[in-house]
């Protein structure tokens, strides 16, 4: 990818080499990543992407995958 690029993956987690993406984020080669899928799901708390930091700190933006939401889950109260 070109330096400063933003990576967005909403297809399949296995399409992205997560280790290479984390290295590119850490080095600043890519500016940001937006992800709603991961190679292994659910993402464990000790996974490097979970520990990488939040969006405001330059970490990846992790969003829930809309395919995992059904009518029952969408109607449930959120837990924050």
Which residues are part of the catalytic machinery?
A: 12, 41, 65
DSSP string of 22-42?
HHHHHHTSEEEEEES--SSSS
Q: Within the chain, how many helices (H) and strands (E) appear? A: 3, 3
- Rounded Cα gap, residues 58 and 67, in angstroms: 26
Contact (CB, 8 A) for 41 and 68 = no
């Amino acid at each position: 990818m070109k330096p400063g690029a933003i990576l967005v993956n909403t297809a399949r987690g296995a399409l992205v080499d997560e280790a290479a993406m984390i290295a590119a984020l850490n080095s600043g080669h890519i500016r940001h990543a937006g992800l709603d899928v991961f190679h292994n799901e659910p993402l464990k708390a000790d996974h490097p992407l979970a520990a990488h930091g939040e969006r405001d700190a330059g970490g990846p933006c992790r969003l829930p995958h809309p395919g995992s939401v059904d009518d029952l889950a969408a109607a449930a109260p959120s837990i924050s």
